Amino acid sequence: MDDETTTYDYLIIGGGTAGSVLAARLSEDPACRVCVVEGGPSDVGDERILKLRNWINLLGSEFDYGYTTEEQARGNSHILHSRARVLGGCSSHNTLISFLPFPQDLEEWVRGGCDGWGPETILPYRSRLRNTIVPVGAADRNAVAQDFVTAASTGLGVPVVEDFNARPFTDGAGFFSLAYDPATNNRSSASVAYLHPVMDRPNLTLRLETWAYRLLRDAEGRFTRVQVRNPDGSVSTLEAEAEVLLCAGAIDTPRLLLLSGIGPADQLRDLGIEVGADMPGVGENLLDHPESVMVWETRGPLPPNSAMDSDAGLFLRRDAAGGPRPDLMFHFYQVPFTTNTERLGYPVPEHGVCMTPNVPRARSVGRMWLRSADPAVKPALDFRYFTDPEGYDERTIVDGLRIAREVAATAPLSDWLLREVAPGPDVRSDADLSEYGRRAAHTVYHPAGTCRMGAEDDPLAVVDPQLRLRGHDGLRIVDASVFPTMPTINPMVTVLLAAERAADLITARPAPAPLGTEAADR
């Protein structure tokens, strides 16, 4: 181990979605020394990363940590959970579908003890976001996706939504808003928007391909020291004079805590890890957006223009008693996404489209844990898909498969379709649709919740509403692991807003002015 410890004011562990925001904001003060520790390479100048439409080729690539799933009693055990190994994190790896959180999602957090995280506080941070977030550009709106939007609106009686971020909605079909440049198809990821313009700041250090694997206490007992493995394999110790900001995501943030002896004491002792802080909530409350898939073969090739091959979607509210938020979502793929159906024996059409019914607020909750004290051994992930006692998640998928068929049978989309490939028209009963839907289920790559924020009397809360590790100084967590519950929509923008909020909590900078009453109510 190197004898010398390198010191900064703030150490940011993870140069992903939240870490990029914090690095840019904290380094605005030229006297503040900021270091970002990122396990992957830079995205600067790498067209494989920067071109949004290439996202699907990043899955399982050198830029993907690729976490496997524990055996699922009622779901698909073969899901590979992609987590990005590159500057910008998952915003350099995903489809950049960008939704503001629903106000009711944030109100739910406040009811759970997260004071200061209501919509009146968090939604005004949209004015601070540096990303370019726009509806899919006109040139990228291909005809089959447009006809899906028309068929969904006509067949289901829902409005066509021109901009899902413009105002509240309970249902609707339309093209998504994306964080990208329609003219170039370049990402407006967290790294592109926040880090690329400020990389020459002398007070900002990026330590790339450097992996943090253990937190250590300093002389005062604060968790402000980090052991890292450098690109050449050597080991160094870095120290934060102010705070360590843990932004490694909902899998690697709790993984690092557990490896450092911060977590459920009995689990740690069983692995031979010295207990530094008994925190039973670390790794618990593992959340996700599960989805299934239906595949149709089309009558011929599809139009080549697209932003990222899943440009449009559909939201429905089946139960008005559940409030104004939608409770069923669909992505519409303009390519045959057959990762799971092919494994089940279904053919792969040369030309095809898919609809993916998604559970926006799934009630099944999982957990993650360490298999070994060896930092090189990947953790265990058990999402416990479709295990909620009321069967809500399963029912949502069955409803979604039936509704997808309704849309597919409606012109003008029906004019494109030759036949239903998976599960096939003979799969009709609830039981058969459930069996297929769960076996073909996938993830939307939205793990969250494993270090949840909560009130002082919540025994499983890992951080307080200031995002500080409960009962300990020197460490905050800023990423989707702090979400107490899952936002209804794709959560990237919620992570960006949380990071902007965290920057103000850290620096005591005033929050943005509240929006007008109408806007604040969204």
DSSP per position, 305-359? --SSS--EEEEE-S-GGG-SS-SEEEEEESS---HHHHHTT----SSEEEEEEE-
| C-alpha radius of gyration, the chain, whole number | 22
Torsion angle defined by CA atoms of residues 114, 225, 499 and 96, in that order, rounded to the nearest 10 degrees: -120
Question: Is the peptide bond preceding residue 412 cis, with omega within 30 degrees of 0?
Answer: yes
Q: Calculate the alpha carbon distances from 378 to 14, 65, 71, 370, 511 in Å.
A: 17, 9, 15, 7, 38
Is residue 13 helix, strand or coil?
Answer: strand
Strands of 133-135's sheet, edge to edge?
133-135, 177-181, 186-187
Query: Is 446 among the catalytic positions?
Result: yes
Residue of 281, 243, 219 lying closest to 476 (CA atoms): 243
List binding-site positions for FAD: 86
Q: How far, in Å, CA of 147 to CA of 415, rounded?
A: 9
Residue numbers in the known binding site are 86
Structure tokens at 285: 């409350």
Q: Given 93, 196, 446, 472, which residue is catalytic? A: 446
C-alpha pair distances (Å), 386 with each of 269, 281, 334, 448: 31, 22, 27, 17
CA dist 204 and 24 (Å) reads 8
Q: Which residues are catalytic?
A: 446
